[in-house]
Amino acid sequence: MDINPYTSAPWRVLLADPNIDLLKQIRSSLDLEYAVFTAKNGPDVLETYKLERPDLIVMSADLPQFDGYEACKQIKGICGRRFIPVIFVSDAGDMSSVKKGFLSGGEDFLAKPYNLEELSIRVNAALRTKKLYLQLMKAYEVIDRERDTLADIQQKFLSDPPEIAGLQFHTQYQPSSKAGGDYYDFIQIDKDHLGVLTADVSGHGIPAAIIMSMKRILLRSFLSEQKSPAKTLESINGILFKNLKTGHFITAFYGVIHLPTRVMTYASAGHCPPYLVNYDNGSIQELKTEKGFPLMIMPENKMDEAQVQLAPNSKLVLYTDGITEARNPAGEEYGRNRFAQTILESGTGRNAEELGTEIITKVKDFIQEVPFNDDYTLVIMGIE
């Protein structure tokens, strides 16, 4: 008998035809090779499919009660990701019937009368396709497990916010798939200096996650004592450009806070400008620099540095564009202006954690049932 290599049992074939004599004839020709089940009408096909879960269906288009086309549509709706090939057989071999069979979800079409040898060849071909599908699903399972492992490692890479008197922190990271290319980090350079970083690798998924992991290793292993944000990003750029030729690029914002004075020196490699909101005077400021292309585009990438005072009762909001580029059902982006207004209006009387939760709630309300189409990261630092 022909064995399904994944169950070590014979392939299971469902035959459906209202002609009892033909059904018996077909069954006798296939019984030696496969485990064969039969059905005489549309409802029988559905019931047998649910009970026996065949690997292949050979089905007359002209079944009573409801026809084979309708039965095929219902089965395809039930099976979900489980691939079940359907071979239609019909007295009508015209192009209209063939087209109807394929549109209802069938994989092959055989016009009556046919000889049993031809049917056997078609069945063998359909089961080869089924075997390839099963191999593909097994490969996907392996990839999925590896993605789970990578996602777990990536989550462990994300730093817990430091405990510093007078500062509050909120962090949110959400990949669009199991692993993503967004990243945030806190680097305690020394007792007086704290580095705060957000970054975003172009694209998402496993390649972006691997590149971001390499960036973290560089920052943490070789550059953790560097107090200049510009020099830090320039060094990372040079190493990644030299060693990675993947076609990806990284945007990044890196600020180093002098904790005694609350002055932050920062540089940006083409990243979304963070917002600094002073709730005492109601001002909101985008933290931009003149120079700084995304990383990994060119070997020399000179960065500008700027400084800003982090005043009491202010909040620093760093983010990636997965938030501002989230779209509602009409295709409208949440946008930077709406995002800035949300920060300004929602931050009064809320700590960093509460503001972060409120921001994401408002974005989700805006996009409604539409999923985020990119990874997103949100880091908020509240200055008391």
Sheet holding 193-201, edge to edge: 182-190, 193-201, 250-258, 263-269, 306-309
- Confidence band for 150, pLDDT divided at 50, 70 and 90: low
pLDDT at position 374 over 70? yes
Q: Output the pLDDT for position 384.
A: 92
**Quick one: average pLDDT of 121-149?**
83
**Residue 309 CA neighbour count, 13 Å, CB half:** 5
User: Could you please report the per-residue DSSP string of 299-331?
Assistant: S------EEEE--TTEEEEEE-HHHHT-B-TT-
Q: For residues 109 and 146, which has the higher predicted lDDT (pLDDT)? A: 109
Structural contact between residues 108 and 126, judged by C-beta atoms closer than 8 angstroms: yes
Question: In which band, very low, low, confident or very high, does the pLDDT at 365 lie, cut at 50, 70 and 90?
Answer: very high
Q: Residue 88 in contact with residue 109, Cβ under 8 Å?
A: yes
The highest-level CATH class for domain 158-383 is alpha beta
Confidence of residue 179 (pLDDT cuts 50, 70, 90): low
Highest mean predicted confidence (pLDDT) among 60-64, 92-96, 149-153, 156-160:
60-64
Summarised one tens digit per residue, pLDDT across range 189-211 is: 999 999 999 999 886 667 777 77
**Tell me, what's the pLDDT at 245?**
77
Which pLDDT does position 67 carry in this prediction? Answer: 92
| Cα(137)–Cα(140) distance, integer angstroms | 5
Q: What is the pLDDT of residue 151?
A: 63
What digits encode the pLDDT tens for the residues 50-75? 999 999 999 999 999 999 999 999 99
pLDDT of residue 332 exceeding 90? yes
In the predicted model, is pLDDT for residue 46 greater than 90? yes
Q: Is the confidence at residue 375, as pLDDT, over 90? A: no
> In this structure, are residues 122 and 110 in contact, taking their beta carbons and an 8 Å threshold?
yes
Cα-flanking dihedrals φ and ψ of residue 88, to 5°? -85, 140
pLDDT at position 383 is: 96
pLDDT tier at 317 (50, 70, 90 boundaries)? Answer: very high
Greater confidence, 210 or 242?
A: 242
pLDDT per residue over 275-286, tens digit each? 999 999 999 999
* Cα 154 to Cα 137: distance, rounded to the nearest angstrom: 25
> Residues spanned by CATH 3.40.50.2300 within the chain?
3-146
- Specify the residue for token string 């995304």: 294
Percent of the chain with pLDDT over 70: 94
Q: Residue 147 has what pLDDT?
A: 66
Q: For 286-312, how does the pLDDT look when each residue is reduced to its tens digit (9 = 90+)? A: 999 988 999 999 999 999 999 999 999
What class does CATH assign to 3-146? alpha beta
- Highest-confidence segment of 31-35, 220-224, 263-267: 263-267
Q: Looking up tokens 């069954």, which residue turns up? A: 27
pLDDT at 31: 80
Q: Given a cut of 80, is residue 35 above it in pLDDT?
A: yes
Name, of 111-115, 122-126, 330-334, the range with top average pLDDT: 330-334
Nearest-5° Cα angle at 76, 74 to 80? 120
Contact 374, 334 (CB under 8 A): no
Whole-angstrom distance, CA of residue 193 vs CA of residue 227:
8
* Cα dist from 99 to 45, 104, 106, 126, whole Å: 21, 9, 10, 18
Residue 318 confidence (pLDDT): 97
Taking the C-alpha atoms of residue 11 and residue 129, their distance in angstroms, rounded to an integer, is: 13
The residue with tokens 């400008």 is 273
pLDDT at site 51: 93
221 has pLDDT over 80: no
Q: Residue 29 pLDDT more than 90?
A: no
pLDDT for 15 equals 94
Q: Tell me the per-residue pLDDT of 258-269, one tens digit each, with 9 for 90 and over.
A: 999 999 999 999
> Average pLDDT over the chain, rounded to whole?
89
Q: Does the pLDDT at position 7 exceed 70? A: yes
Res 304: pLDDT: 94
CA-wise closest residue to 185 among 151, 158, 214: 158
- The residues near 333 (Cβ < 8 Å, ≥ 6 apart) are 324, 325, 326, 327
In the chain, pLDDT over 90 holds for what percent of residues?
59
Q: For 350-359, how does the pLDDT look when each residue is reduced to its tens digit (9 = 90+)?
A: 999 999 999 9
Residue with the larger pLDDT of the pair 218 and 204: 218
